[in-house]
Structure 1
Amino acid sequence: MNPVGRRPGRTGRLSSGKKRYDGPCRGRGTEHELVCQSCGTAHEPGGYPTGCPDCRADGRAGRLEVEYDPATIPASAIPEVGGGRTEAMWDYRELLPLLADTPVTLEEGGTPAVRATRQSDRLGVDVIVKNETTNPTWSYKDRLNALLVSNRPADGERRIATSSTGNHGASTAAYAARADRGPVIVLVPHETEAALRRQIRAHGAGTLVTEYDARGALLAELVDRGWYPTVNVTEPYIGLPYSYEAYKTIAFELVEQAEVPNVVLMGIGAGDGLYGVWKGFRELAALDAIDDPPKMVAVQSEERTPVVEALESGTDRVGESEGPQPITLSAGGTTAGDHALRAIRESGGSAYGLERAAIEASIRETARDGLLLEPSSAITAAGVEPALEDGLVDEGGSVVCVGTGAGVKWPDHTESAVGTAVEIEPTMDALRAAVDVSID
C-alpha cells in the first residue's frame, strides 16, 4: 500500500477541555484497503453491508477487515504507554479509516479508567473499569456510530436503519441526527426498556418494536431496498468492515492512561467490541508501541453461552446457544461472530458463562464504587474471579473491565439487583422504622 501524506491539523478547545476537530484542515484518516478474511480479495474503502462482494456472489459470507501499511503512520500518531493523550476518540484519527474530511462527532471517547476500589481490595489485584458510560449517549456504541455515520457519503443513501436492543439504536439515532441524516428506523425487541425507546425517539428516529428474532430479516429487507445499516445483516454474522475500527480507540486510551493490563474483560454479544479492542492492542504491538498485548476474556450469562461453547469444543465457528433471555439483554444473543473467537484464542484469553446471582452481585459492588453499570457491563466484574483462578493475571498485574453501558437506562433489568425505594409516611417514626442505621 502506498504511503499517504498527511497535513497537520488544528485543534480548538471547548470549555470542557476536550479537543474539537473543526474543519477540513484536519485531513482524513489512514489510507487503507478492505481485505476479505475468507478469500483474501482486497477491496477499495466503502460500506459493504453484506461483506465481501466476491464471496457473496459465491453464496458465502466473507468478513472484510481494514488493513493499512504501518510505515505510513507517523511516530507522533502512535499511542504511548502512560502518554496521557486521551481527550477524545479522534485524537487517533491517523489510525482510523475515516473517509470524510470532518468526522461527525459529539466528543465521544476520552473516557475515564477508574479503579474499582472494593473489588480490588477484596481480590488483591488492580481492577480497573473503563467507564464508557461517559460517552454522549452513555454507551461505547458512540465510538462505533461516530465512525459509521461519518463514513456514509454525504451524496449517498441518506436513509439509515438498524437493529438493536437499545444502546446501539440510541447511538445511531443520535449521530444520524447530528449529521442531519435521515430518516432513521430502529428495530427493537419487546424486551427493550421504555427509557431506551424514549431516548431513540427523542433523537427523531422511528422506533419500531417487534419480535426479538424477527429484526434481522426485516433489516435485511430494508438494506435490499437501499437503506444504510449500522449493523451487519448477513448470516453468519460477520460485522461491518468499520465496526471494529472505532473500538480500537479503547485499547489506545487504556495504554495512554496507565499501562498494558494483563486481562481485558468484555460482555459479548456479536463480538465486534471485543474483537475491536483486541485489534487495537494487536496493532499497537505491530507498531512497537507495546510488547505483550493483554488476554481477552469474554463473559456471558449462563443462559446463552455460544462463545464459551465454541471455545470449549475447539471449533472455529460460533454456533447457536438457545436458552431463555438473560438479564444481560444487550449482550444476550444466541450466537456471535467467529472473529470474537479468534481474538480470544490469539490473545491466550478465555470465556466464562456466569450465573445471574454473580451478575447481580457485581451490579451492587460496582455501584458501591459509584458506577451503576448495566448488567451486560457489570458482568465483566463477575468474570474477574474465574480469570484469577485460571491464572490469567500476573502477580502485581491488572485487570480491565470495559463498562460498555449505563445502568440508568436499564431500570427494570437492574431492579432485582438493587431493589426499589421505600415509601413511608412523612413522620420520624416511619423514617426510623424504614432504615437500618441510627438516625440519632
Structure 2
Amino acid sequence: MLYYLFDYFDREFDLMGAGVFQYISFRAVMAAAISLLITITFGKNLINLLQKKQVGESIRDLGLAGQMEKKGTPTMGGLIIIAAIVIPTLLFAKLENIYVILLLVTTVILGGIGFLDDYIKVFRKNKEGLAGKFKVVGQVSVGLIIGLTLFFHEDVVIREFNEPETVQTEVVSEGPNYVDKKSTVTTIPFVKDNELDYSKFNPTDSDMVTAAIYVLIVIFFVTAISNGANITDGIDGLAAGTSAIIGLALAIFAYISGNAIFSDYLNVMFIPNSGELVIFCTAFVGACVGFLWYNSYPAQVFMGDTGSLSLGGVIAVLALVLRKELLIPVLCGIFVIENLSVIMQVSYFKYTKKKYGEGRRIFKMSPLHHHYQKMDIPEAKIVTRFWIIGILLAIMTLATLKLR
C-alpha cells in the first residue's frame, strides 16, 4: 500500500525521496524492520492476552528434562508471526504480483488450519486437536490452489533470452531479444545442464496430464514441508530459527532470479516479477527472528500449529515459485530429517512388533530432537547445533549457484 502511495507522490508531485520505494532493496529492508518491530513490540501484548485467556500448552509427560516446566506456557503465538509477515508485505510489496498473492494466501489458509487445531486443543480440551485427515485435506487444498495457479496463470512464466543475430559486423535486432513462456521447468542442483521439465514425465501430449503431474508434485512438497516444520516445532526456538535461516537463503534466490543481470551472470533461470518476493522473504525472516525474542529458551510463548504449518507451507511455496523445489532436501534438511525420523521410528516399531512380537526403536525417541534430549543434552545446545547445521545446509544450497 505504501508502495502505491509513494509511487503516486513521485509521479504527481515529484516528492523528494518518494522514488526510493521503487527499489526492491529499500522495501525489503523496511519490511524486515517493520516485521521485527511488530513481533517484538506486540509480542508481549499477545502473550499477556493469551495468559489472560488461559491459552496454555498442555504437556504430556514423556520423561524429558524440563518438559513439565513448560506446562501452561501460552501457545498460538503463530498469530503474531502471521501478522508480522502479512502486514509488512501489504505495506511494501506490489499487491498485483501473482507470486505475492499466492504467498499471502498460503500464509493465511495454513495459519487458519493451524489455528483451528490449536483452538480445539486449548478451548475444547482435546489433546489430539484437529483430526489428521482434515489437516491433510487443508494442506492438499492449498497445494491444489498453488499448483493450478502456477500452471495456468498467464503471469507465471520464465524468460528466455535470444542471442542477437548478426550480419557481417552489423547487429540485427527486431523487437525484444527475449521470449516469456509458460513452462514446467525446474532447477536440478549440482549438475551442469541443470533444468528438468516435468512435462517429460507425461507419456501423452495432453496438457491436462502435465497439469495433473505438476499439481501432484506441488501438493507433495506443500504437505511434506508444512508437516516437517510442524514436527520440528518441539523445542524452544528450533522451528523459528531454522525457518529464518531458510527464508534468508530463499530471499537471495528470489533477488537473483528476479534480476536479469545477476541471473544471466550466474546462469540462473530468470523469472519475471519474482524479485518482488524478496519483500515477502525479508518480512518472513523478520517475523521468525522477532518471534525468537520470546520463543528462545526458556520460551515465553509457543507458536503452535498456527505458526508451524504456515511457516512450512510458505517455505515450500517459495521454493516452488522460484523453481528451486528440488533443493528442498538440502535447504530444508532439518525439516526433512525430523520428518524421516518419525517415519523410520514408527515403521520400524510396527515391523519389529509384527516380526518379533514386540516393537523396537531406532531412536530413543522421535522426532530427532527428542532423541538428543533423551541423551541428556541441554535443550539450548540442541537448538544451537541444529541452527549451525541449518546454516551449513543453506550455504551448501547457495553454493549450487556456481557448483555444477
Q: What TM-score comes out, normalization by structure 1 length?
A: 0.28
Structure ID, larger Rg? 2
**Higher-RCO chain (CA-CA 8 Å, sequence separation at least 6):** 2
More strand by share: 1
Q: What TM-score comes out, normalization by structure 2 length?
A: 0.30
More helix by share: 2
